[in-house]
Amino acid sequence: MIRLFLLSCTTLFLLACKMEGKELAVINTPLLTFTDPEFYLSLPKQKSFFQKIDKPGLGASGSVIQVFPEQTFQSMDGFGFTLTGGSAQVMNRLEPVKKAALLQELFGPNGLSVLRISVGASDLDSSVFTYEDVEGKFSLEKSKSDLIPILQQIIAINPTLKIMASPWSPPTWMKDNLASKGGSLMEKYYDSYANYLANYIQAMAKEGIPIWAMTPQNEPLNPGNNPSLYMTSKMQANFIKTSLGPTFLKQNIQTKIIVYDHNCDHPEYAIDLLNDPEVRKYVNGSAFHLYSGNISALSQVKAAHPDKDVYFTEQWTGSKGDFTGDFMWHVKNVILGAVNNHAKTAIEWNLASDPSFGPHTPGGCTECLGALTIQGQEITRNQSYYIVMQAARFVPTGSIRIGISVPQGIQAAAFKRPDGKIVLLIQNEGAKKDLSLQNLNFEIPAESVLSMIL
């Protein structure tokens, strides 16, 4: 049995003192009260998700999950996907009524609260392009048939949606290899590139699409993609402090600058940037992926710079992946792991693809499985859809992560929502267990995730 307690601040103080070896008299602290708890169970092997458990049985004593509502951490910006140009393209092929229903499902109440988009093409666009392929001729025209219209429809549904933009490559004429793949930004074009990114933010705003945050480069240590760019931490620092930061400041652009945006195996990249006082004054925080490294890298960066935010911004599910295995790994590492290591967002990779995992650029990802597969007018919801919705349905923007302690074999995160309710996301990777919440007891099956609203 697992028994869950909601502990007050007094109890937290007593526990802290006990851990420090201080002897204290036992003080009986009342449990925080709650009414009408709700329980939603997901069983990925059975392809059963968010099923409400209406009548849990009576509880019993046992192992303890402790929740500390007065121990607070980051405020959540939310959960979402990357809306690539290819994703927009396949979604726009849907009939208007079907497309409207899908967008309402994704972005209406209890839906996605953040989106990541590319500045110009990502590798999951049907072709390589930037918004200024010819020097001095900036235009959003290449995104006006697919990406921009669907973003406008999404914002009409959820005007508070937070949009993060990331370039995969500058215009090729700014790069030392004059190519979309690899190469580095030439210093003589630092100001030109900063103005290009500022022009992008301002042009998107005119389309009714506010850019909430921007990373200077997607995966700066991965020059093998198409498009891509190689940018060391020193290069990124110089670009931010000499051009990007001053340009945003001069033009009164409020978009957050978030550095790094790559794997957890190099937290020193973000730390080096934030150690530079001329960089950090322009920077809100740092962003991470988990194709290598450990999710605890986010806490390492947070500990080095507690005044700066951390974000999780990309993880793919592949065409050869196992549904249950992917679901459980991503919930553990991307959803629970990222937020428990202070991430304000948890964003998976592409929102939608066709059955052949396209569109993609020549040399782009050929195995990236969208959260949705769209074939004609048929929509298949894949594991990534359920991974993100497991949190997005229950944890809205503005929820505060709170303290939680769990026994071995359980992973969990706890939040206090803006409506005052507490949400627990609890994952059981092992054999079935029982959970007790005061006098309520119910089984947590093996390989399952439980969302609780208290």
Interatomic CA distance for residues 454 and 431, integer angstroms: 25
Interatomic CA distance for residues 138 and 284, integer angstroms: 27
Whether the ω angle into residue 37 lies within 30 degrees of 0, i.e. cis, is no
Q: Identify residue 255 by its one-letter amino acid code.
A: T
Which of the 8 DSSP states describes residue 154? H
Q: What is the mean pLDDT of the chain?
A: 91
Q: Identify residue 357 by its one-letter amino acid code.
A: F
User: In 3D, which of 286, 175, 172, 184 has the Cα closest to residue 231?
Assistant: 184
The average pLDDT across 262-279 equals 98
CB 360, CB 124: distance < 8 Å: yes
pLDDT digits (tens, 9 = 90+) for 72-107: 999 999 999 999 999 999 999 999 999 999 999 999
Interatomic CA distance for residues 85 and 150, integer angstroms: 10
* Residue 286, pLDDT above cutoff 70: yes
pLDDT digits (tens, 9 = 90+) for 42-63: 999 999 999 998 755 544 555 6
* Residue 19, pLDDT above cutoff 70: no
> How far is the CA of 356 from the CAs of 122, 129, 168, 338, in angstroms?
17, 22, 22, 30
pLDDT digits (tens, 9 = 90+) for 387-411: 999 999 999 999 999 999 888 889 9
> How far is the CA of 282 from the CAs of 42, 190, 194, 366, 368, in angstroms?
42, 16, 13, 36, 34
Work out the pLDDT band at 34, boundaries 50, 70, 90. Answer: low
The average pLDDT across 107-119 equals 98
Work out the pLDDT band at 109, boundaries 50, 70, 90. Answer: very high
pLDDT at 13: 41
pLDDT digits (tens, 9 = 90+) for 308-330: 999 999 999 999 999 999 999 99
Interatomic CA distance for residues 401 and 378, integer angstroms: 37
* Residue 235, pLDDT above cutoff 50: yes
Copy the structure tokens of residue 288: 């991470």
pLDDT at 10: 43
Cβ–Cβ contacts within 10 Å for residue 276, how many?
16
Interatomic CA distance for residues 283 and 311, integer angstroms: 13
**Could you tell me the sign of the dihedral formed by the alpha carbons of 126, 257, 265, 308, in that order?**
negative
**Could you tell me the sign of the dihedral formed by the alpha carbons of 269, 274, 278, 283, in that order?**
positive
SS3 298: helix
User: In 3D, which of 220, 246, 225, 393 has the Cα closest to residue 313?
Assistant: 220
SS3 445: coil
Work out the pLDDT band at 438, boundaries 50, 70, 90. Answer: low
Q: Is pTM beyond 0.75 here?
A: yes
* Residue 11, pLDDT above cutoff 50: no
CB 154, CB 100: distance < 8 Å: no
Q: What is the pairing mode between strands 38-43 and 48-52?
A: antiparallel
For 69-94, the three-class secondary structure string (H helix, E strand, C coil) is EEEEEEECCEEEEECCHHHHHHHCCC
Q: What is the pairing mode between strands 285-293 and 256-264?
A: parallel
The average pLDDT across 372-384 equals 98
* Domains in the chain, CATH or no CATH each: 2-74+401-453 (2.60.40.1180), 77-397 (3.20.20.80)
Interatomic CA distance for residues 242 and 87, integer angstroms: 35
pLDDT digits (tens, 9 = 90+) for 139-195: 999 999 999 999 999 999 999 999 999 999 999 999 999 999 999 999 999 999 999
**What are the backbone angles phi and psi of residue 170, rounded to the nearest 5°?**
-70, 170
> How far is the CA of 192 from the CAs of 133, 136, 340, in angstroms?
13, 10, 39
